[in-house]
Structure 1
Amino acid sequence: MLATPAAAAAAKAAVEPALRAPAVRLAAAQQCHGDAARSRHPPVLLVHGTNVTRSESWSWGYVPALDRLGIPWCAIEIPSRASGDLQDNVEYVVAATRALAARSGGRRIAIVGGSQGGMLPRWMLRFWPSTRKLVGELVGIVPSNHGTTANACPGACVPALRQQLAHSRFITRLNAGAETFAGIDYTTISTRHDETVQPITSGALTTGRGRIVNVITQDICAQDPFSHVFTPTLSPVAYALTADALTHDGPADSRRVGKAGCAQPLIPGMDYLGGVLAAASAAQGAGKVPATLTEPPLRCYADRRVCPRAGRATKSLLPAEPRRSRASG
């Protein structure tokens, strides 16, 4: 007897990891604005990075800029300034992706993230395969895609930082296989002044079936001064690349952006005073997650050795062998 489409869809959903966080908490973490179903451009999900909040990251820069472009958006608030286990944090990305895609009337959404927020959606796309059909664009601004070799954890540190070290179990598992998926455009934006994600090529993606562009802001504007902390929030070059990716088919195109980012001192519509207050808030803030000397263990959906009996279902989530994709620097 042939399975019905509904039964097939249910069977596929059954192999995806269940979300541990309560649904009400996941929904409460989402703040949205605009008509996602009727806008000219796909709606955007904003994902903040480690040790900052949604407001500190987006409310004074990208939010007013997206409003000027007429692009609807949702921004999530990951608990404890996203300093806890990345496997908990990603659940907020999964829930918000599903919700925004539903609000968009079936249209694929775009995701824009800074630092951890630029890398974390890739974990979602890897282990929640159904979300690959919901996302059409992923823009990572100084993303920690391959972790960092910087001495970020000389002793005890919060789980999210330890998991973002190069060669951590989390980063190794994230990149074990194809880095990108068909049907999704990937733009990674890095800065030569990055003091956190080292080497700066760590953010670049090169394999898989997605359309990929890797850009360094100084290759467009040699005078761009911004570091890891401020590139996702202050750099007009990073914003120009992001806006280009959001308003055109395919990843960002440096030729279209040209020197536009150099010609404007601020992100269009930016609330400068709000930015000063957000920076002061971020400098004083800290997550409430205890520091640890060890990395959180991978969960069974990501490591068959943890849950041997779930091995068959987990194995079905793995992408095909890496396939080289065109990438530009």
Structure 2
Amino acid sequence: MPSRVSVGTRAHRLLVATTALTTLLATLLTALGAAPPPAGAAPGPAYTVPAAERRAALACAGDPATSQATPVVLVHGTGVTAQENWGATYVPDLRRAGHAVCTVDLPQQSLGDVQRSAEIVAHAVRAVSRRAKGRKISLVGQSQGAFHAFFVVRVWPDLAARLDDVIGLSGVYDAGSAAIRDDCRDGCSPAFHQIAAGSRLLRLLARRPLPAGPDYTTVGTLADATITPQPAANHQPGATQVQIQDVCPGRRSPVPDTDHVLMAGDAVAHALVRDALRHPGPARRTRVPASTCLLPVFAGVDLLGFALSLPTMLTRERPETASEPRVRCFLRPGCTDLRERGRVVRSVDVRRGPRAAVLRLVVQAPGAVRVSVGGRHRVHRVARGTTTVRVPVPPGGAARVRLQGRPDGFARWVTERVLRVPRATANVSMSRISTR
């Protein structure tokens, strides 16, 4: 550590030189108008899960940048690990099909607060997308994992543009589960409170439509006794809904009361997932061969490995609480916490003219901006990307401009920048404008 290096040593001189170089580079970047965006500028809510924990939760097989087929992120269900959910089923199958496959392990086997688990999923999508170097990736989840796949695209605005397909297997969506609600009357795990029918979290989430971009597919079974009632519980507005009975009427698991759990190995569900991944658009049941109905599980499923993991899954200790965890600010329409809900505008450049200032905005979250100067304000609807806004300013003198943002899904304005535009007519970057 630097505090242990004596003055005059080679290590100390290197440390001093490095510090000086860093300072010089920072000064040059500021002078060139290339200063980094302000703290908390990432789109959507800031992470609360430590970075080391987020990184440790992600594991990948294959290279997302070079894999033959679309990279896939798999999100496991409640009360299991990624290995228990996917290790005997989709991981080896998708690898054989040429996909790079990444999995996430959610905290407490996803029995805890889903809002915390969602951060792990959002981080995984961003991390795998970066590794894919511009390629779109796909997101597949089962049960609560499906919930997370449809949750994160509505909370973190940059994720939808990174995704090709979002697919849920026996998932829980905005309607929640009536069966879970009934089971929670005497207490249950925090996650179950949150995905139960009528939970406050689901009511608030349902106000946010799925963003355009990915193809959305929900695959369910009428025989599901965990996510009920079916088929209503398998419906998510904006997604294509398919029940495996649409392909094979009357289909049920050969093992009673396991239809929900065994969807991870079901041959028809698998065919629908693979159909969505292979073709543009969501899954289409008409492309699934009728012969698939003869198979209880798809080829390559490690039945022995899955069976050996069942005792651990069924006997795992489950924490219980009496009520639903508090809904975080980023889901409440009245949230005014800039760090919790995220900024609309990532950065601003200003050009000052004789009668107007031109603001060049880099927008990271769809919504609206309100620009105020001299007691007057104008509202502009903005989408992700770069946009230009003209602001009338008093001729000659300096102007104070307040920039407020309101992302889609929120009701209140929050001040994101306060700018003092000087008299100069040349380009002035954010680094040269006082902010508060």
Taking structure 2 as the reference length, the TM-score comes to 0.66
Deviation at 1:154, TM superposition (A): 2.0
Match of 1:192 among 222, 229, 245: 222
* Within-5 A mapping of 1:99-110: 99-110=127-138
Measured against aligned partners, the alpha-carbon deviations of 1:172-202 in whole angstroms (never above 9, x if no partner) come to: 1111132x22111011011111111111221
**Structure 2 counterpart of 1:87, one-letter code:** Q
Deviation at 1:11, TM superposition (A): 9.2
Match of 1:149 among 178, 182, 199: 178
* Within-5 A mapping of 1:15-54: 15-54=43-82
**Structure 2 counterpart of 1:169, one-letter code:** R
Select between 187-196 and 308-317 the one with higher mean Cα deviation. 308-317
- Decide whether aligned partners of structure 1 residues 237 and 190 sit closer, same or farther in structure 2, where only a CA change above 3 A counts: same
1:79 maps to 107
Distance in 2 (alpha carbons) for counterparts of 1:278 and 1:319: 41
2:265 maps to 234
**Structure 2 counterpart of 1:263, one-letter code:** L
Distance in 1 (alpha carbons) for counterparts of 2:34 and 2:236: 35
Match of 2:158 among 124, 130, 137: 130
Count of equivalent residues: 309
Contact 1:126 1:317 in 2 (8 A): no
Deviation at 1:63, TM superposition (A): 1.1
- Decide whether aligned partners of structure 1 residues 7 and 318 sit closer, same or farther in structure 2, where only a CA change above 3 A counts: farther
The structure showing larger relative contact order (alpha-carbon pairs under 8 Å, at least 6 residues apart) is 1
1:300 maps to 329
Distance in 2 (alpha carbons) for counterparts of 1:54 and 1:140: 15
Contact 2:45 2:342 in 1 (8 A): no
Match of 1:222 among 249, 252, 262: 249
Other structure's SS at 2:329 match = coil
User: Identity of paired residues, percent?
Assistant: 35
Distance in 2 (alpha carbons) for counterparts of 1:142 and 1:11: 39
- Decide whether aligned partners of structure 1 residues 216 and 313 sit closer, same or farther in structure 2, where only a CA change above 3 A counts: same
Deviation at 1:262, TM superposition (A): 1.2
1:250 is aligned to 2:275: no
2:205 maps to 174
Flag structure 1 segments of 5+ consecutive residues without an equivalent: 321-329
1:63 is aligned to 2:91: yes
Distance in 2 (alpha carbons) for counterparts of 1:132 and 1:19: 18
Measured against aligned partners, the alpha-carbon deviations of 1:302-323 in whole angstroms (never above 9, x if no partner) come to: 1144x54548959734359xxx
Flag structure 2 segments of 5+ consecutive residues without an equivalent: 1-31, 345-366, 368-405, 411-436
- Decide whether aligned partners of structure 1 residues 6 and 75 sit closer, same or farther in structure 2, where only a CA change above 3 A counts: farther
- Decide whether aligned partners of structure 1 residues 238 and 10 sit closer, same or farther in structure 2, where only a CA change above 3 A counts: farther
Query: Higher strand share goes to which structure?
Result: 2
Other structure's SS at 1:240 match = helix
* Within-5 A mapping of 1:271-282: 271-282=302-313
Other structure's SS at 1:96 match = helix
Match of 2:408 among 294, 304, 318: 318
Match of 1:91 among 113, 119, 126: 119
- Decide whether aligned partners of structure 1 residues 248 and 23 sit closer, same or farther in structure 2, where only a CA change above 3 A counts: same
Distance in 1 (alpha carbons) for counterparts of 2:117 and 2:197: 19
Taking structure 1 as the reference length, the TM-score comes to 0.86
Contact 2:166 2:215 in 1 (8 A): yes
Contact 2:252 2:259 in 1 (8 A): no
Other structure's SS at 1:129 match = coil
Contact 1:44 1:71 in 2 (8 A): yes
Measured against aligned partners, the alpha-carbon deviations of 1:274-319 in whole angstroms (never above 9, x if no partner) come to: 11112222112234xx3111111111111144x5454895973435
